Structures are given as C-alpha cells and as structure tokens.
Structure 1
Amino acid sequence: MTGSRVRAAKGQGGLLREQLLDIADRLLEDGGTDALTIRAVATSAGVTPPAVYLHFASKRDLVHATCLRVWSSLFTEMEAVSGGIADPVTALYEICAAYIAFGLRHPAQYRLVMDGEATEASRRNEDACFRYFRDKVAACAAAGVTVDSTTETARLLCSGVHGAVCLLIHQEPDAWPADTAGYVRRAASSAVHGALLTASRASRPSMSTLGRRN
C-alpha cells in the first residue's frame, strides 16, 4: 500500500518514528520477518528508504524497536489486571493469565524475542520479565507462602507460562484449542499452583499426594 508521502514537520521526527513502527508492526504480524524490510516500511509510509534509516540503522534495529515497543505494553497489562488485588497469589494468577494471553495475541513478536533474531530485545525482556515475576513471588512469600527460593520459584513459574505460549504459537492456528480463553486460565492456574506448591520442597507426585476421588 502506498499513500501520500509522510513528512514529519520540524521537531516531529518522533511522530514519524512511531508511524514507521506502526507499519513495521503490521508487516511483522501479517508476514513475519521476511515481510518486514526497510523498503517495505518506506513504501507503506510513502517515504524513501533513507528516511527510515534516519531512525533505524538496520533491519535488525527496526525489528528490535518493534518488538520492544509491543513488549513494553505487557508490563502495563500485567499491572492493570493485578493492581487492585489484595491477595498476592490471586494477583500472580492474573499476571500469568495476562502474560499467556499476550503471547498468543502477538505470536510473531513473541517468537522473535524468545527464539529469534531480536537478540537485544530478548536480553532486555527476558531479564525484565524474570525480575518482575520474582518480585511477585517475593510478595507471596511476604504474605506467608512458604518459599525457599524466590529465584528458583520464579524460574519454574516462567517456564510454565512460557511453555503455555510456545505450545500454541509454534502450531498453526487451526490446531489451537477452540476455547483459547479457557486454555489461558487453566495454564495460568497450573503454572501458579505448580510453582508455589513446590516452592518449599520438591516432592515426587503420586496418587496419594493428588488425592483420589472416592
């Protein structure tokens, strides 16, 4: 799609940068990294490639910026769903559900950050996510949940929510469960229960520990 040439007024270079990122985000969602090129972004914006290079030195820089902008919204979403909840365990569940739902809404960006070429975005986001979850586990411990190691418990929690996202985004959408919202809730519940129930000791699961129905 080409339109009228987008020109940033003096002092509005940041506005053009955001427009370029909007376009890059759409290209990435629709066609993956192959579709996201400097030339494609320039064509869609109605500018020349050098105008894009003024803001992004390379395709990789453009990919990083696109992924980081999307991922920055994740923390806003997680805070929004948990901010008013007094029970830290319930808040942690809502955070996990928001994380999984985010990954399923943004599969291209999620794959790039966690598995692909967005290496700087990966380092920044993986570290930020881990510290965020560790802080929330620490809040559970402060409220009375027995946790031997907040770091180890956060690591298990992250593996649970990350696995829940990856299980689906590496498949075709028609293979996803029909009730995706239900999947998100159950996966979040499983991650929280699994991590916190083993936070003080790792026990070998058995029928006796699960409790059979009579």
Structure 2
Amino acid sequence: MSTAPLRRRRAPRGSGDQLRDEILDAATGLLLETGDAKAVSIRAVAQRVGVTPPSIYLHFADKDALLDAVCVRYFEKLDDEMQAVAAAAGTSPIDVLRAQGLAYVRFALKTPELYRIATMGQGQPGSDVDITLTSSAFVHMRAAVQALIDEGSYPPGDPTTMALELWTAAHGVAALLISRPYLPWGDVEEFAGRVLRAVCCGQMVAGAIAPEDPPRETVAWLREVVHEHNLR
C-alpha cells in the first residue's frame, strides 16, 4: 500500500481563508508534537495539509511569517480566556486582576510548547506577535490596573508600567513552571496564586513606601500593620 500523502482536492473559489486555517492547524499540530520550531518546515506543513509548498507561500511569505501567525492566533485565544475570567471574577478590580494572572498561567501550561515558542524566542519590535499581545492579554491587565488606580487602591502612576510589572510576574511563573517542572513547586495552582496575590497586593503597599525609605524601617512598619490586623 502506498504511504504517499493524499493530495488535497482543489479548493473552490473563495476558500482561501479555509486553507489558511488548515495551514495554521497543521503548523500548530507539528509544534505541539515536536515542541521544536526547527522541526516545522514549509514542506512538512504542506504534506500534512495535502497541498504543494507553493500553496503555502500564497498565504505566508516564509516559515517565520507562518510561525508568527500561529503565535498570533494562540494569543487571540488567550484574549478570549482573559475576558471570560474577568466577567466571572465580579466587579472587584483586584479580584479581576488576580483572576487574569491565574488565567494567563493556566493558559500557558495547557500548551507549554506553544507558549515557549511564542514568548521565549527572540522578539522583534513591531512584530505581529507583540502587537497582538499588547492588544489582548496585556491590555486587559492594564485596564484592571487603571480601575485600581481610579478607586484609590493603587497609587497614582502609569498603568502601563504597573501592568508590565504584573505581567512580568505572571510570565515568570509560567516560564519557570514550564522550563523547570521538577522544582519543588508544590501545588502549581496554589503556588501561582500566592505569587500573584503578593504582587497584586504589593502594588498597594508600594504606594505607601517612599523610594528613600530604608528597607529596615519599611519592614518594621509592615510588622506593625500585620500585628494590628491580627489583633482584630
């Protein structure tokens, strides 16, 4: 029996978007199976779809463009999840922000191969991937930060900078859980929740600490606050 791949039937007019989706599905499947972008070639994707390599080039200029498109679609799905958790978290901005951070980590852990390729590779300013990030997951975090500033929970400041700090924490947790799963994290969900809670609440505390305050005085003040809270 022949093992040659089946040739895809000629697509009807107007089905270019469908073929593009099939190409992205095939490239995504190869990435998930191999965990290595180097294993994804135009020829391999074409073979899986059942078309010739020139058909791929009608939609993507080269392999890099194809992989960028895969990552863009990946973060569009993250955008959907970020919006869903925000709706479920209620009206409290701090609950929304923490839920968004946890959703980000969970999403990364679902498909670590894709997350690694999409966020841990060499970035290029203005790439489609970075544009998608700033218009989806990041913008949701920034909106929650702005809400916390508006209600007086977070100190006045640039919401973009604060959101970058929170995003850094979420990405750091996800990246380490993916790259170093053997470390003694304990329950992954609880670990991620503790880190994100500390960072989210830390922004509130930071507003009461002057940059020139000695760390020793800051620790003493925080101890007093904790002591008073425990006496209630």
TM-score, normalised to structure 1, is 0.86
Q: Tell me the SS of whatever aligns to 1:83.
A: helix
1:178 deviation in Å? 5.6
Corresponding position of 1:19: 22
The residue aligned with 1:209 is 222
The answer to whether the Cα contact below 8 Å between 1:161 and 1:191 also exists between their aligned partners in 2 is no
The number of equivalent residue pairs is: 213
Say which SS state the counterpart of residue 66 (structure 2) adopts: helix
Partner residue, 1:33: 37
Q: Aligned-residue CA RMSD in angstroms? A: 2.6
Larger radius of gyration: 2
Any idea what SS the aligned residue of 1:4 has? coil
Which residue of structure 2 lines up, in the alignment, with residue 6 of structure 1?
Answer: 8
After superposition, the Cα gap between the structure-2 partners of 1:36 and 1:74, relative to the gap in structure 1 and judged at 3 Å, is: same
> Offset of 1:30 from its aligned partner?
1.9
- Asked if the contact 2:105/2:173 (under 8 Å) is kept, the reply is yes
1:71 paired residue number: 75
Native 8 Å contact 2:109 2:178 kept in 1: yes
In structure 2, what is the equivalent of residue 182 of structure 1? 190
- Map residues 161-200 of structure 1 onto 2, 5 A cutoff: 161-171=170-180, 173-175=181-183, 177=185, 179-200=187-208
Does the 8 Å contact 2:5/2:50 carry over to 1?
A: yes
Range with bigger deviation, 115-124 or 147-156: 115-124
The answer to whether the 8 A contact 1:21-1:65 is kept is yes
Conserved? CA contact 1:100–1:184, under 8 Å: yes
Preserved contact between residue 4 and residue 46 of structure 1 (Cα < 8 Å): yes
Alignment partners' CA distance in 2, 1:17 and 1:124: 20
Distance in 2 (alpha carbons) for counterparts of 1:109 and 1:18:
17
1:122 deviation in Å? 4.2
Q: Aligned-pair distance for 1:182?
A: 2.5
The one-letter amino acid paired with 1:123 is: D
What CA distance in whole angstroms lies between the structure 2 residues aligned with 1:191 and 1:126?
21
CA distance in 1, matches of 2:141, 2:130: 16
2:97 and 2:183 map into 1 onto residues whose CA distance is 28
What is the aligned partner in structure 2 of residue 143 from structure 1?
151
Amino acid corresponding to residue 134 of structure 2 in structure 1? D
- Cα separation, partners in 2 of 1:122 and 1:12, compared to 1, 3 Å: closer
In terms of mean alpha carbon deviation, does 132-141 or 106-115 score higher? 106-115
Change (3 A) 1:14 1:145: same
Which AA in structure 1 matches 2:222?
T
Match of 2:161 in 1: 152
For residue 116 of structure 1, what is the aligned residue in structure 2? 121
Structure 2: 5+ residue runs without aligned partners? none
CA–CA distance in structure 2, aligned partners of residues 2 and 36 of structure 1? 19
Percent same amino acid among aligned pairs? 31
- Measured after TM superposition, the shift of residue 58 of structure 1 is 0.2
1:61 aligns with 2:65: yes
1 CA distance for matches of 2:222 and 2:43?
A: 59
TM-score by length of 2: 0.80
| 2:141 and 2:163 in contact (8 A); partners too | yes
Matched-pair contact (CA < 8 Å) for 2:30–2:40 = yes
Q: Which secondary structure does the structure 2 equivalent of 1:86 belong to?
A: coil
